[in-house]
Structure 1
Amino acid sequence: MKNFNHYAGREEFSAFKDFFLTHGQCKEMKKKEYFTLQGALATHGAYIEEGLFRYICTDDRGYEHIVGYSFAGEYVGDYPACLKKEKAMVSIQAASDARIYYASAEDMRNFFSTNEMTQNLERILAEELFVQTYMRLLDIYCKTPTELYLDLVKRYPDFQNFITLKEVASFLRVTPETISHIRKKFE
């Protein structure tokens, strides 16, 4: 199965994964348990061995917006805030029971400064994060809700087994009714 977040499929990512598996601590997380809270200092990142996490941004009016997901085989954490010692811009919640290997931001910074290969890996991860964010921005402005939904199905065909209709709607920035209409077209 393809990775939901494209960077995880890159060969270079295996060194980052190995870092977490070797130096990280294993933790079992229950569904709805928070890994990171919006507004709190982001202190850890993790590799997801099993499970699914949702990224939630709460606006000034108190409305929650699903802004991303991380699946098994991927990194989970507010990467920019973690490495820059800043407050998290999102809450990150387990959307299913999960097993992660987590490490401190300090340990991640030390890992990235180990040698030229790890410094290059840090640059690649930053580039991938930028590309992912840029593509999401273009998609929001240039694609129809149907195209966005079909892209999601193509990238992660099993998502409907893990993500509610309401969450899909929030992630795609449409109403749940719109998602229902789109699904009916393709049944």
Structure 2
Amino acid sequence: MEKFNTYIEHPEIERWRDLCVNDGELCQYSKGEEFVSIGSVARYIGYVKSGTLKYVVYDELGKEHVCGFSSEGEFVADWPFALHGEKAKLAIIANSTSHIYRFPVKEIVERMKTDTELSELVAKSTELVFYQTYDRYIALYCQSPEIRYSNLIDNHPDLFELYSLGKATLL
């Protein structure tokens, strides 16, 4: 089964997992607890050991819209905005009890000053996230909601075991 977040399939991304697991701290987030809050600068990137998280935005009426997911074996971050000290435009919320190896963004920024390999990894990771986002954006114009839903279910048959049907607002 294909990953929901396609950037994760790139071999270089394994270096982020190693950084988070080996140098980060393992933390538990309860269902409903925020990993990133709207309007604040994200302090961590993370590797999800277990659990699920949702990326959400709110419309002018306060209605929640899910615009992304992270689950076991994936990363969670307000990427790349946290690296630039920019306030989050979305919230990342634990959808279930989640165990996350988290690593401080400040430390990444500091290491990038002397570690060219890390700087290259940041650039490559940003590029991969851009490609994924661009593909999804194009799909909004080229595929009907029905086709996007069908593709989502075909590629991720367990998605609604992890997230309720109401979370399908990303379609």
Q: Same fold (TM over 0.5)?
A: yes
Which has the larger Rg?
1
Report what 1:171 is aligned to. 170
**Identity rate of aligned residues, in percent?**
30
Report what 2:30 is aligned to. 30
Secondary structure of 2:11's partner?
coil
Deviations 1:57-80, CA, capped at 9 Å, x for gaps? 112332221111111111102112
Distance 1:111 1:34 in 2: 26
Report what 2:162 is aligned to. 162
Report what 2:146 is aligned to. 146
Structure 1 segments of 4+ aligned residues over 6 angstroms from their partners: none
Across the aligned residues of Structure 1 and Structure 2, the Cα RMSD in angstroms comes to: 1.5
Conservation of the 8 A alpha-carbon contact between 1:112 and 1:121: no
Structure 2: runs of 5+ lacking an equivalent: none
Structure 1: runs of 5+ lacking an equivalent: 173-187
1:5 aligns with 2:42: no
- 1:8 alignment partner AA: I
- 2:86 alignment partner AA: E
> How many aligned residue pairs are there?
171
Q: TM-score scaled to structure 2, two decimals? A: 0.92
Report what 1:98 is aligned to. 98
1 or 2 for the larger relative contact order (CA 8 Å, sep ≥6)? 2
Higher alpha-carbon deviation: 65-74 or 146-155 = 146-155
Shift in alpha-carbon separation, 1:150–1:113, aligned structure 2, 3 A: farther
Q: TM-score scaled to structure 1, two decimals? A: 0.85
Report what 2:21 is aligned to. 21
User: Counterparts of 1:68-107 in structure 2 under 5 Å?
Assistant: 68-107=68-107
Secondary structure of 1:136's partner?
helix
